[in-house]
Structure 1
């Protein structure tokens, strides 16, 4: 009886949370305006390490931006790349490109971003990653939204390249759910996530904060900045626009995928944001309860019906949520594939939080 009561309470809490995200997404207006006064100066900050396979594609997509070149600069900070990244950068002919190298005593993405901001001339900072690409109206859309709203931080959409293969497809659906939750939560003024691949903020808002990104920690520049701005009651908005979308690459192996998710989840050990921790706990406990009940069903077959009911309900409402995001991102979904991935998603969501507490991870060849 106690087990059933806990199961029901967790189910109600989880479904209420997803409906809240759906409500938040439906409150978002789609932004399609690209009219700008072209007076806002932008600094695009990109910390790179061993991106020789991606850097040309990144620079090509930056070179086709419709926003006037005189009003934005590209600052790329090389974090001790051991491949040909720096060589490729030095042979690029872009007038608005600055290349900075970290010295021997400097290391890591946070240090790189901080160094980039220290020389940035823009009113607003945009961070992205070395494996990202953008549409031609990316900057114009961002600036147009900024000039109308003037938020301290703008969270903009990110998607993975949709490729064939189990792992790529799983990451695509998982990341789509994260993006939909990010937008829905931000819309109801409880921002809980962002992504450094497409993050915009006022330079002054960053400078006003003491240790804005917790530089003593290796990961989490994006999330700690969000939490600090939120704590200081700064305005944080979500930019719901296909033109503002950034496309990045998924991980190509299961170990790299696991390390990435451990790195993301591990950020939660070092902050006390009530919204993030509460929502994370609800998601974790509900999925863990589903997994535990599925195992117990071998000895207690009477739990199979409520388990199946909760599983189907979970699948349907989560599919509704990611369908809203997919419409903005212009991505096609398959409910049968999504249904199949649900089993693996429940297992993965139950295990990653444990691994993030007790495990280290690798990023770009570094043990962190």
Structure 2
């Protein structure tokens, strides 16, 4: 009797997962591609919080200097979050004499305080945040400025891609991140946004000020997702920008320890989630992967459970691959079947470990605790 009940619960769980992911797939397919032009550009203020990014600063500044829009349409505000290397000095040297580039030191601690200071300095109505370890194409600001001129949204979620090399480790990170971005894009398209990334996020200053007190500022991390949740509460206009010209790229993490710490840091923000749909999706993903991770051990319990969960996992794999194929269209990239299969076999164990460590472990970032500032 218990075996039958357990199998029934697993079937319901996976059916809900299939329906949710399929809704995201339909959402992604419904987002029209946006092409930039040279007429009608909304000026923007770009905010880059940074801490100990000396090795990445030059490439970042080069990306900004190569933008195809005139300097009058944007400003860049670099906010130093108490770097202990020479990032600040390097930036001052690289931007010296450029009037629309501002380099300041944060008067607070952490990424959120740095962004808040950047917003207070920003001259334009729209703000873009990105990270110091990112790069982007020459039309990045052009396509965003064009889109904001044509669509007066409150928040615009931009595409972010982890670049991959020939190693499986980097390709796994690419696939993992692509699934997150695709789900975020699909959810936004069906008016149920659940995630965004501060490496490519646009919002109105007025929106930021309106929801600042609701953004769970006791958490040092989560500047992007908590802003999204607060914006969603007041029914702000939130869209995903489907344009390969708007893609922001970042490199994969080099070591396994650093990778797991990064993903645990991301997952730790879930303890502050207040949006019910976001929590629903997070639990759905976790429980479906928990069941899949338990699959090898069910052999010692019940062959029936093994067959049922195995069949459900196979169907889940087809659904996940279809999701990634749709996500690849956002970047004009494809995921090889071999990479997907290997990633899919590892994914349940990786998810379970990440969630449990995020809930019960201690997470740090650049020498600091990141969960609770108090």
* TM-score interval for Structure 1 and Structure 2 normalised by the shorter chain: over 0.9
> Shift of the alpha carbon at 1:212?
5.0
For structure 1, which segment, 213-222 or 174-183, has the greater mean C-alpha deviation from structure 2 after superposition?
Answer: 213-222
8 Å Cα contact 1:206-1:212 kept in structure 2: no
8 Å Cα contact 2:229-2:274 kept in structure 1: no
> Shift of the alpha carbon at 1:362?
1.5
What per-residue deviation string (whole Å, max 9, x for no partner) do you get for residues 94-117 of structure 1?
Answer: 3321000124xx210000000111
Aligned to 2:93: 91
1:358 aligns with 2:360: yes
Distance 2:331 2:192 in 1: 22
Distance 2:245 2:39 in 1: 14
1:100 aligns with 2:104: yes
Distance 1:250 1:213 in 2: 29
Aligned to 1:182: 184
For structure 1, which segment, 79-88 or 55-64, has the greater mean C-alpha deviation from structure 2 after superposition?
Answer: 79-88
> Shift of the alpha carbon at 1:164?
2.6
Aligned to 1:163: 165
Aligned to 2:81: 79
What per-residue deviation string (whole Å, max 9, x for no partner) do you get for residues 322-368 of structure 1?
Answer: 11111221223101210111111011112222211112212122233
Aligned to 1:173: 175
Distance 2:345 2:323 in 1: 18
Distance 1:35 1:236 in 2: 24
SS at match of 2:170: helix
8 Å Cα contact 2:10-2:309 kept in structure 1: no
For structure 1, which segment, 344-353 or 43-52, has the greater mean C-alpha deviation from structure 2 after superposition?
Answer: 344-353
Aligned to 1:218: 220
SS at match of 2:59: helix
Aligned to 1:17: 20
8 Å Cα contact 1:214-1:221 kept in structure 2: no
Distance 1:85 1:220 in 2: 23
1:43 aligns with 2:45: yes
What per-residue deviation string (whole Å, max 9, x for no partner) do you get for residues 114-143 of structure 1?
Answer: 011111101100000000001111011011
Distance 1:157 1:255 in 2: 26
> Shift of the alpha carbon at 1:305?
3.1
Q: Gapped runs of 5+ residues in structure 2?
A: none
Cα distance change on mapping 1:208 and 1:302 into 2, 3 Å:
closer
> Shift of the alpha carbon at 1:303?
3.4
Match of 2:11 among 3, 8, 12: 8
Distance 2:17 2:353 in 1: 18
Cα distance change on mapping 1:133 and 1:35 into 2, 3 Å:
same
For structure 1, which segment, 55-64 or 313-322, has the greater mean C-alpha deviation from structure 2 after superposition?
Answer: 313-322
RMSD: 1.4
Match of 1:349 among 324, 346, 351: 351
